[in-house]
């Protein structure tokens, strides 16, 4: 019998293959053809959702599922195990032919009050051929030597205040603390899963989101980030928790530990 993480990994990869094949079948979409691009995004989102939910229903029928494309069931509030799913995170990037979209599958279990509750996390980046999971072997985090700018990865459509008016202040704090005198560089990436992937690949150092998003946007990426040893939390330093109604996460920071004192708490 598959473990929870084995099941989530297999299903996320199947969903990733499905959406990539679907995008290929649509061929080249002209920049001005918004209707066809919307159809591609909607079809891919729905197809991935249907596949994931069907697999979870077959192999974990007693568990609840919270999916972006599904109906939020009342029984989720009292469930002990909830799968938190984003069938296709970064739909704008997916529809534009970019690679920074992801499939997110996480498992939340009821437990300690001072814990996120995340027990499994899988982020599949199908266009990049990369899958990150909470079963991955321990790996050393990329180091930051201070010989370059801190790379701050943000959403293209909703960059945080830190990426605008707060950038000079952040850069000054880093310089005063002797972290780097090279300032801060802003990097635009789509999916939250792809953003965490950039940190783990050493192409970014911190991810900040301050305008709120849904649990399915962040559950799997956060679980993976925690597994790899990245610093995580709300901007005020509190733990990010899940299985709320509504399933809303107000803000999030994921960063290299050396940057945590400047971004978390």
Q: Residue 104 and residue 92: Cα distance in Å, rounded?
A: 16
Going by pLDDT thresholds of 50, 70 and 90, the confidence category of residue 165 is: confident
The dotted CATH code for 4-133 is 3.30.540.10
Total-model pTM: 0.96
Q: What is the CATH number of domain 150-263?
A: 3.40.190.80
- Provide the residue ranges of all domains of the chain, joining segments of one domain with +: 4-133, 150-263
Angle (nearest 5°) at CA 222 between 217 and 226: 175
How many Å from the N-terminal Cα to the C-terminal Cα in the chain? 42
Residue pLDDT, tens place only, 185-236: 999 999 999 999 999 999 999 999 999 999 999 999 999 999 999 999 999 9
SS3 of 94, please? helix
Answer for the pair 255, 206: CB distance below 8 angstroms, yes or no: yes
E runs forming strands in 52-145: 64-67, 81-89, 102-109, 118-125, 130-133
* Residue 92 confidence (pLDDT): 95
Phi-psi region of 237 (alpha: psi -120 to 50; beta: other; left: phi over 0): left
How many other C-beta atoms lie within 10 A of the C-beta of residue 129? 9
> CA-CA distance, 179 to 5, in Å (whole number)?
37
Can you give the pLDDT at residue 16? Answer: 98
Name 213's bridge partners.
Answer: 249
- β-sheet bridge partners, residue 206: 152, 255
79-126: per-residue pLDDT in tens? 999 999 999 999 999 999 999 999 999 999 998 767 899 999 999 999
Q: Virtual CA dihedral for 216, 217, 223, 226, nearest 10 degrees?
A: -150
């Amino acid at each position: 019998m598959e473990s929870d993480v084995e099941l989530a990994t297999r299903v996320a990869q199947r969903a990733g293959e499905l959406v990539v094949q679907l995008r290929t079948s649509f061929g080249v979409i002209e920049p001005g053809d918004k209707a066809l691009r919307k159809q591609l995004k909607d079809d891919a989102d729905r197809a991935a959702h249907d596949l994931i939910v069907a697999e979870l229903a077959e192999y974990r029928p007693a568990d609840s599922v919270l999916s972006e494309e599904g109906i939020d069931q009342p029984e989720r509030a009292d469930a002990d195990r909830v799968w938190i799913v984003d069938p296709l995170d970064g739909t704008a990037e997916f529809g534009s032919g970019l690679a920074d979209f992801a499939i997110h599958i996480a498992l939340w279990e009821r437990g300690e009050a001072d814990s996120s509750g995340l027990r499994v996390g899988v982020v599949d980046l199908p266009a990049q051929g990369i899958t990150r999971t909470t079963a991955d072997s321990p790996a050393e985090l990329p180091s930051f030597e201070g010989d370059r700018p801190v790379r701050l990865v943000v959403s293209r459509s909703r960059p945080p205040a830190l990426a605008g008016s707060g950038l000079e202040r952040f850069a000054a704090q880093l310089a005063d603390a002797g972290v780097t005198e090279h300032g801060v560089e802003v990097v635009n990436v789509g999916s939250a899963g792809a953003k965490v992937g950039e940190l783990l690949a050493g192409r970014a150092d911190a991810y900040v989101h301050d305008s709120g998003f849904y649990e399915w946007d962040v559950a799997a990426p956060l679980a993976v980030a925690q597994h790899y040893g990245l610093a995580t939390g709300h901007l005020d330093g509190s733990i990010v928790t899940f299985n709320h109604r509504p399933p809303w996460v107000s803000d999030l920071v994921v960063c290299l530990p050396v940057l945590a004192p400047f971004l978390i708490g």
